[in-house]
Amino acid sequence: MSCARLAGAAIALAGAIDVQAARPMITDDARVVDAKACQVEAWTRRTRDANEYWALPACNFTGNLELTFGGGRTHADEGNAFTDNVIQGKTVVKPLETGGWGLAFTLGAARHPHRETANGWPGDPYFNVPVSISLMQDRWIAHFNGGASYRRDEKRTVPTWGFGNEVQLRHDLYFIPEIFHSDPGRPFYQVGLRYWVVKDRVQVDATYGNRFVSEDQHWISIGLRLLTPPFIR
């Protein structure tokens, strides 16, 4: 794969991070990290021609504003390497309750320093509106997203959307299927499992994803999510 094609594929997948939810989902949820607490989501993703390494720390300082700043490093098999950065704020408009629904709003920007143009801050701005619905006493939670991302190098706005599900298989294990659209062309899909090693504190996951009717944009990811108890004064 050429460097230009690899960079384009990386931007498409990095664009999916614009609506990043709790690992391993791309489709966002109407929830934030606990008030005065923090989390770190880290994962590695293997695509056809590259390895990606991501880390997204986030904290909720005020009680209803989750701030995220992090990024990823991509290493291509042919020796090329580049970085992507993400900064994001998220607030809950209507809290999600058992048997009910929730609404949130996300605003952020993704920076792609390896691009030839428009590669500095403020990056590519985006917004997203997640809606979550609790079903079967929280054993199934459905998420719906709608938003847009502005590509500064192309001077165009790309609509984004997603539909994801968290299906509880047992008290510590979840099945995570979703479809989402973050780049012109056919949407992507992803399926995976999420497992709580320590309830509400340590979580691991694994996924497989691809673009519909595609053979060369598939990926496999393995992730870790760490959550702290409230500690910020």
Give the containing element (helix H, strand E) for 90: strand 81-94
Render pLDDT for 134-187 as a digit per residue (tens, 0 to 9): 999 999 999 999 999 999 999 999 999 999 999 999 999 999 999 999 988 899
Q: What architecture is domain 3-227?
A: Beta Barrel (2.40)
Residue 21, pLDDT score: 65
From the CA atom positions of the chain, what is the Rg in Å? 17
Q: What percent of the chain lies above the pLDDT cut of 70?
A: 91
Angstrom CA distances, 93 to 39, 72, 101, 123, 139, stand at: 21, 29, 11, 26, 23
> Which parts of the chain have pLDDT scores under 70?
1-21
Residue 15, pLDDT score: 53
Whether 224 contacts 57, CB under 8 Å:
no
The conformation of residue 187, written as its DSSP 8-state character, comes to P
Give the containing element (helix H, strand E) for 103: strand 101-111
